[in-house]
Homo-oligomer: A and B are copies of this chain.
Amino acid sequence: MKEKIERIQNMLKKHNIDAWVVFSHHSYDIHSKYLLQKWVSSPALVVISQDSSRVVISAMEAMMINHQAYEVHAYKKGSEMKENIGKIMKSFPDGAKIALNFVEADDALDMMNRDIIASGTKIALMKFNEKLQYVSAKNLIFDIRSVKTKKEISNHKEAAKLAEELMETVVESMIKPGMTEKEIAALVEYECNKRGGVAFDAIVAAGSHAAIPHHEPGEKKIKNNQVLLIDYGVTYKWSNSDITHTYWIGSNPPEEVLNAYEAVDQAKEAAYKLIKAGVLSSDVEAAVRAKFEEFGYDPEKYFIHSTGHPLGIETHDIGIGIRRAYPDSPSKPLLENSIVTVEPGLYFENKFGIRLEDDCVVTKEGSIRLSNTPKKMKCLDFK
């Protein structure tokens, strides 16, 4: 934990910021989890300055905090919380530059996951000391999260490995026709939880539901001769994996399903051929779309999302993903030591859908794959 704090302190110096102040209610601000390595449910203020690290937290949760890493200010009631926050905010010299987790209005709708602090709370915090200079933490957050440390990369590797392992050794053999999507999702999350944690609510979509990219698992029973899409991830030491399998239930997938599967697999390979630090994100996206066209699938019609997103402490993390360029949102080069998902898909409304999603580290030389969904469609056969 001290390493993490030191890394941030170095970034504060680089950005010429005196302190980063994270205010969190119910762990709503993911950075409080990241900094404390705990889920806290009471309101908490975490303050990293260039030479100190402090936290204001409920007495009920104070004993959960690492007292070696943080100076802990516990409160028993709301008025004490405000007193403690006030003391810290007043401890800075006039004019000190304090980064808060907000984004200015003009950029807010394009950077929603960095525009976090609630509108009234932000003003209330600033009122504790109006002589400070409050600035957006958006660039600091980008630097902290878009590029991973060695330790974080090794946690991502483990998160992906555990996710592959639980599917191969446990879940695949337990899936039976007659189970509901919800039951399968519960089973997947159970196995994720046993190995670390659930990165996000698992998507389990059978048959035509697989054509809905973010389908919410329901009471539909799975049956023979349909696709089964499972999108899930393990959290290992606060690093997430995010993997999607598409299976065939039965022994004999029809031609149109096999063709779509092959196209998606080839689209994935087309992406991997290009992924490398410095390559333009939109060039990778274009290669995926070109591959779909080559197979005769109009990507405008059948591929209704982007190829990949940054992965980290949040499943949709902050950084550079793989997507198209638009005039108002130009493409950027992929970053060395970032983690991205590669998840092309084809969706045929009311029929079926195929998505294959793997995680990789972007490197100077290309990429390191952290997971490998099968190149040939896997059949779960119950005869």
Which residues of A164-193 are within 8 A (CB) of B?
182-183, 185-187, 189-190, 193
Q: Is A77 an interface residue (CB 8 A)?
A: yes
- Asked if A116 and B118 sit within 8 Å, CB to CB, the answer is yes
Which residues of B are found within 8 Å of A108, using beta-carbon distances?
Answer: 118, 120-121, 123-124
- Asked if B190 and A193 sit within 8 Å, CB to CB, the answer is yes
- Asked if B183 and A189 sit within 8 Å, CB to CB, the answer is no
Which residues of B are found within 8 Å of A186, using beta-carbon distances?
Answer: 190, 193-194
Residue in B42, B119, B123 whose beta carbon sits within 8 Å of that of A118 in the complex: B119
- Asked if A105 and B78 sit within 8 Å, CB to CB, the answer is no
Q: How far, in Å, is A258 (CB) from chain B's closest CB?
A: 25
Q: How far, in Å, is A217 (CB) from chain B's closest CB?
A: 10
Residue in B63, B104, B119, B187 whose beta carbon sits within 8 Å of that of A115 in the complex: B119
Which residues of B are found within 8 Å of A187, using beta-carbon distances?
Answer: 190
Nearest CB in chain B to that of A202: its residue: B193
Count residues on chain A whose CB falls below 8 Å from chain B CBs: 64
Considering residues A79, A104, A112, A118, which has the most beta carbons from chain B within 10 angstroms of its beta carbon? A118
Which residues of B are found within 8 Å of A116, using beta-carbon distances?
Answer: 118
Nearest CB in chain B to that of A61: its residue: B214
Beyond A60-B214, A186-B194, A304-B60, is A326–B124 a contact (Cβ under 8 Å)? no
- Asked if B185 and A43 sit within 8 Å, CB to CB, the answer is no
- Asked if B326 and A77 sit within 8 Å, CB to CB, the answer is yes
Q: How far, in Å, is A63 (CB) from chain B's closest CB?
A: 5
Q: Is A3 an interface residue (CB 8 A)?
A: no
- Bound-state CA distance A106–B127 (Å) is 9
Which residues of B are found within 8 Å of A43, using beta-carbon distances?
Answer: 109, 112
Which residues of B are found within 8 Å of A118, using beta-carbon distances?
Answer: 102-103, 108, 112, 115-119
- Asked if A105 and B124 sit within 8 Å, CB to CB, the answer is yes
Which residues of B are found within 8 Å of A190, using beta-carbon distances?
Answer: 186-187, 189-190, 193
- Bound-state CA distance A79–B326 (Å) is 9
Which residues of B are found within 8 Å of A113, using beta-carbon distances?
Answer: 25-26
Which residues of B are found within 8 Å of A103, using beta-carbon distances?
Answer: 118, 120
Which residues of B are found within 8 Å of A61, using beta-carbon distances?
Answer: 213-214
Identify 14 residue pairs between A and B in the complex whose beta-carbon atoms are under 8 Å apart, listed by A's number: A42-B214, A43-B109, A43-B112, A76-B304, A78-B110, A78-B326, A105-B127, A109-B121, A115-B120, A119-B119, A119-B123, A182-B194, A185-B193, A189-B190
Given A64-B216, A190-B190, 12 more A-B residue pairs with CB atoms under 8 Å apart are A41-B214, A64-B212, A79-B326, A105-B120, A107-B120, A109-B121, A115-B119, A116-B118, A117-B118, A119-B122, A182-B193, A186-B190
